[in-house]
């Protein structure tokens, strides 16, 4: 397939801010919440949850994983309004399945790019010779990238880590850059480090030197321990990157892509939680467990007197109506910010 040179990764004249793909987090409902409180020009790329190529190629398994690629019309309208790109992230270990899935994502969906997950360190995934396990199989990793590139005109990026038990940034990334991906997102930790140790951003400087020597047109995005917009700006100023990806930082502040936003009132925090809960139910109904929503409650309800009590009560709810009733009962309270 003819590949386009019109890649948003390459043609951007500004540093790119991205929201990371996260399992059971970055579905269409949560992405829409983040988009709704982001400042235009402060967020450029968002991702789907990572989706199995094995599952998408399986006649039965496809129904179990394709929900990860769902994009609500309301989210798509916001993406268009804000000029934000949406990238589908996929994972697996079979180049032929990548070829098939990339073709399908290009022809049957409306995404702006495809990303290959070569970074997830979760053991059950690694055991399948996928994601960060591919660091040990560079030839297979290259086959996967090339198979994906051959079947799509969309920009193809790779998200990875710096090594397995220790940093092998130069050697590992040399293989990846030889495939000329449109972008490489580097999580500045090894597989072994998981997220239990501080990200080592000095590895981005090494990555940039390798990139400049082998594939200077590839955008280099740094990832790891970015907990505020100021963190992101400082990383951009200190390291030779083309952008920054925010992961767990979104749990500290869903408005992270609205720099300088005023401290939200308790009522505004409750409103945003309720917006998310309603979007979640409208999108998934009973097809997803209501308890999945509860991991988000702490994102919205914190920093004011009574927040811990309210979170505790929210954790006991079992339906959207109970959440609505509880939030309504708290609206009239005097909830001063800590």
- pLDDT for 338 equals 53
Phi (first) and psi of residue 153, to 5 degrees: -95, -5
Question: Cα separation of 179 and 196, whole Å?
Answer: 31
- pLDDT for 61 equals 84
Same domain (yes/no): 144, 280: no
Describe the crossing of helices 28-36 and 73-82 by its angle, rounded to 10 degrees. 40
Average pLDDT, the chain: 94
Q: Point out the domain boundary residue: 218, 252, 286.
A: 252
Is 238 part of any domain?
yes
- pLDDT for 135 equals 98
- pLDDT for 294 equals 95
Question: Cα separation of 195 and 247, whole Å?
Answer: 11
Average pLDDT over residues 266-277: 95
CB 221 within 8 A of CB 245: yes
pLDDT band at 4 (very low <50, low <70, confident <90, very high): very low
pLDDT in tens, 5-25: 468 998 877 999 999 999 999
Q: Where are the beta strands (DSSP E) in 53-134?
A: 85-91, 113-118
- pLDDT for 332 equals 75
- pLDDT for 5 equals 45
Average pLDDT over residues 196-219: 97
Tell me, what CATH number does 113's domain have?
A: 3.20.20.70
- The pTM of the full predicted model, rounded to 2 decimals, is 0.95
Higher pLDDT, 323 or 10: 323
CA-nearest of 89, 290, 328 to 185 is 89
Burial of 294 (0-12, 13-18, 19+ CB in 10 A): middle
DSSP 127-190: TTT-GGGGGG-HHHHHHHHHHHHHT-SS-EEEEEESBSSSB-HHHHHHHHHTT--SEEEEESS-
pLDDT in tens, 25-56: 999 999 999 999 999 999 999 999 999 999 99
- pLDDT for 3 equals 45
Range of the domain at 322: 266-330
Same domain (yes/no): 129, 194: yes
Question: Cα separation of 25 and 293, whole Å?
Answer: 9
CA-nearest of 21, 125, 11 to 68 is 21
Look up 18 and say whether it is catalytic.
Answer: no
CA 15 to mean position of chain CA atoms: 17
Among residues 18, 120, 131, 179, the one annotated as catalytic is 120
Residue 186 in this model has a pLDDT that exceeds 70: yes
Question: Cα separation of 116 and 50, whole Å?
Answer: 9
Residue 204 in this model has a pLDDT that exceeds 50: yes
Cβ within 8 Å of residue 25, ≥6 positions away: 49, 250, 295
Same domain (yes/no): 305, 163: no
- pLDDT for 125 equals 93
Domain count, the chain: 2
Average pLDDT over residues 143-166: 98
Q: Point out the domain boundary residue: 221, 252, 283.
A: 252
Same domain (yes/no): 273, 191: no
3-state helix, strand, coil in the chain (%, to 5): 45, 15, 40
Residue 259 in this model has a pLDDT that exceeds 60: yes
Q: 128-149: b or e for each residue (b if 16 or more CB lie within 10 Å)?
A: eebbbbbbeebeebbbbbbbbb
Average pLDDT over residues 147-152: 98
Average pLDDT over residues 88-109: 97
CB 242 within 8 A of CB 15: yes
Same domain (yes/no): 199, 61: yes
- pLDDT for 60 equals 87
Average pLDDT over residues 72-99: 98
**Percent of residues, the chain, with pLDDT higher than 90:** 91
Is 186 part of any domain?
yes
Is 312 part of any domain?
yes
Higher pLDDT, 143 or 61: 143
- pLDDT for 6 equals 61
pLDDT band at 333 (very low <50, low <70, confident <90, very high): confident
Is 174 part of any domain?
yes
Same domain (yes/no): 229, 136: yes
Q: Point out the domain boundary residue: 252, 275, 302.
A: 252
pLDDT band at 2 (very low <50, low <70, confident <90, very high): very low
């Amino acid at each position: 397939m003819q590949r386009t040179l019109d890649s948003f990764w390459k043609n951007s004249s500004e540093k790119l801010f991205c929201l990371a793909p996260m399992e059971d987090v970055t579905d269409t409902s949560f992405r829409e919440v983040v988009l709704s409180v982001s400042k235009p020009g402060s967020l450029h790329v968002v991702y789907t949850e990572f989706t199995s190529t094995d599952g998408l190629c399986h006649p039965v398994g496809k129904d179990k994983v394709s929900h990860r690629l769902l994009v609500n019309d309301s989210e798509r309208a916001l993406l268009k309004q804000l000029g934000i790109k949406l990238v589908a992230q996929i994972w697996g270990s079979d180049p032929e399945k990548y070829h098939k899935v990339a073709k399908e994502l290009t022809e049957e969906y409306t995404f702006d790019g495809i990303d290959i997950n070569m970074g997830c360190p979760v053991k059950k995934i690694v055991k399948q010779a996928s994601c960060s396990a591919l660091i040990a199989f560079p030839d297979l990793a290259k086959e996967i990238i090339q198979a994906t590139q051959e079947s799509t005109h969309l920009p193809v990026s790779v998200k990875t880590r710096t090594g397995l038990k220790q940093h092998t940034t130069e050697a590992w990334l040399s293989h990846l850059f030889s495939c000329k991906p449109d972008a490489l997102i580097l999580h500045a930790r090894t597989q072994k480090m998981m997220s239990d140790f501080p990200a080592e951003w000095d590895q981005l400087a090494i990555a940039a030197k390798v990139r400049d020597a082998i594939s200077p047109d590839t955008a280099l995005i740094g990832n790891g321990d970015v907990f505020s917009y100021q963190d992101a700006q400082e990383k951009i100023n200190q390291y030779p990157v083309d952008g920054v990806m925010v992961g767990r930082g979104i749990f500290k502040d869903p408005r992270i892509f609205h720099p300088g936003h005023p401290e939200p009132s308790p009522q505004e925090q409750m409103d945003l939680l309720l917006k998310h809960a309603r979007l979640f139910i409208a999108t998934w109904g009973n097809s997803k467990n209501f308890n999945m929503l509860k991991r988000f409650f702490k994102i919205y309800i914190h920093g004011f007197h009574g927040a811990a009590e309210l979170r505790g009560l929210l954790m006991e709810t079992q339906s959207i109506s109970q959440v609505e009733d509880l939030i309504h009962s708290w609206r009239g309270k005097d909830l001063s910010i800590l």
